[in-house]
Amino acid sequence: MPIDLNAALGAEITGREFAWSPSDVQHYNLALGAGARWTEPAELRYLRDQDPQVLPSFATVAPTFHETDPPKVQFTGIDIDLAKVVHGSQEITVHRPIPAAGKATTVGRVTDIWDKGSAAVIWREDTVTGSDGEPLWTARSSIFAKGEGGFGGERGPSTKSETPDRAPDFDVRTPTLPQQALLYRMCGDRNPLHSDPEFARAAGFPNPILHGLCTYGLVLKTATDTVLDSDATRVQSFRARFAGVLYPGETIRTRIWLGAGELVIAASAVERDDAPVLGDVVLRFR
């Protein structure tokens, strides 16, 4: 059905309670390639049995980690075929370090809906509170829904940030595995776009693509390991726009510019002449 702007804009998204364990965190970190440097103490922080280090990007999978059904894009006033949807952007702000185990409650709402003519961009914000009643993190994300525009909404801004006009301070290459998407989907993101060749081709891709949120986590880990001494507790927020696709087995090139309390980052696919993968990437740290 077409988007009902009046019903959808500002609508609350049903809250949910969820929990996670150290094994879930280890599983997520392994899905991002943790353990490749299996004898280095800093790398093994991600895989400790009782208190594995938690990257802020774990917040993107924690509420749905144990789900096995494909996600649905159904909210008040919105009902969209999953094959039409790609992730647009993601931002996580942590209010304190995420513990290796915990229980929390999330509540969300639709904050913006932009009419791009041929597509719609839908923004949501989720606030997560720990079982102690204190805030844990806030997530803000958008999806791009092809063919869902033309409903009469505002077009929204089209600005994007630029990387600094100088050589990056760090230039890192991170290989991905051919089975990277199959590993990452076990973290609760079972969209067949990342595992089913026929579904991917019907959506306009030659083969299944890597989850944008997997790339998001991979780049966050790369930046944390490269600049922040592999200390995920120093990350305050991490945002990115999904500027292109990455195919499993490709290599991510992460260019990092160091500023006062923040890193500006660009990520691209090495094998496709540095085709952009993530843009408008900013990591703020303490």
Q: Which of 24, 126, 189, 225 is catalytic?
A: 189
Q: Specify whether 194 is catalytic.
A: yes
What single string gives the DSSP state of each residue in the chain?
A: ----HHHHTTPEEEEEEEEE-HHHHHHHHHHTTTTSSTT-HHHHGGG-SSS----GGGGGTGGGTT--SPP-EEETTEEE-GGGEEEEEEEEEESSPPPSSEEEEEEEEEEEEEE-SSEEEEEEEEEEEETTSSEEEEEEEEEEEET---SS------------SS--SEEEEEE--TTHHHHHGGGT---GGGT-HHHHHHTT-SS----HHHHHHHHHHHHHHHHSTT-GGGEEEEEEEE-S---TT-EEEEEEEE-SSEEEEEEEEGGGTTEEEEEEEEEEE-
Q: Which residue in the list 24, 194, 211, 280 is annotated as catalytic?
A: 194
Residue 132 CA to residue 262 CA, distance in Å, equals 30
Cα gap 16→271, rounded to integer Å: 41
Catalytic (active site) residue 66? no
> Mind telling me the catalytic residues?
189, 194
